[in-house]
Structure 1
Amino acid sequence: MSDSPTPQSPTPQSPTPLRCLLGAIVAAVLAYALYNMTSSIAISFATKPIDTDTTLIVQRISSAVRTLVLGMSAMGTGIFGLAALGLFALAIQLLFRKPDSSAN
């Protein structure tokens, strides 16, 4: 058998208002960056229409790819935006929570 020590899992840290606010700020910055990227993608797709002289299957595939790219970008924006709101709300909840007396 091996004499190597078994890896111990790190002890979970309880959330603090500061950690929640820092996480909310990071998520909000990412959401804002993705929002700007989504806007530029939408503008780029709107200014460059699909050629009408191509075959129907090419038009359908390019339309589907455009929809997929824009949808994934919008979904990332929404996910990070909701994460920022949730972390901010958790920070507020932790600020007003009474300290747990059983922890001592």
Structure 2
Amino acid sequence: MSDENLTQQTEAQTQVQSSPLRCVIGAMISGALGYGLYSLMIATATSFATKPIHSDNVIVLKLSSAVRTLVVGVMALGTAVFAIVAIGLLALGVQLLVQQMTKQKS
């Protein structure tokens, strides 16, 4: 029973064509998320830098340093992913726009 429903749902779905406008909107959303993560990363790194670790234990110092590095690194990775997606979507939008213009000329 569920196989028939699944087949009917996949057949009913149509593939949405990408357009330059959709690419630009997606790039703006991704860029905004990337900027937000970048701002959060800078604020977190600044907060970590202004609040030193008060401990004499070497293990605590090493672990807290590793955790701080991982937290800032994950935020930097998220920032980079959203920035690359935004650049890729902008490039796709330009490519689609050029393709549309060359079709109209010929």
Shorter-chain TM range is: 0.7 to 0.9
Secondary structure of the structure 2 residue equivalent to 1:11: coil
Q: Say yes or no: does 1:43 pair with 2:42.
A: no
Residues 71-86 of structure 1 mapped to structure 2, 5 A cutoff: 71-86=73-88
Aligned to 1:60: 62
Consecutive unaligned residues in structure 1, runs of 5 or more: 100-104
Q: What is the CA-CA distance between 1:13 and the residue it aligns to?
A: 1.4
Q: What is the CA-CA distance between 1:23 and the residue it aligns to?
A: 0.4
Match of 1:14 among 12, 17, 40: 17
Identify if the C-alpha distance between structure 1 residues 55 and 87 changes in structure 2 by more than 3 Å, giving closer, same or farther. same
Greater per-residue helix proportion? 2
Matched-pair identity in %: 44
Q: How many residue pairs get matched?
A: 97
Displaced runs of 4 or more, over 6 A: none
Residues 22-41 of structure 1 mapped to structure 2, 5 A cutoff: 22-41=25-44
Length-normalised TM-score, structure 1: 0.85
Give, in whole Å, the separation in 2 of the partners of 1:54 and 1:28.
42
Q: What RMSD in Å do the two structures reach over aligned CA positions?
A: 1.7
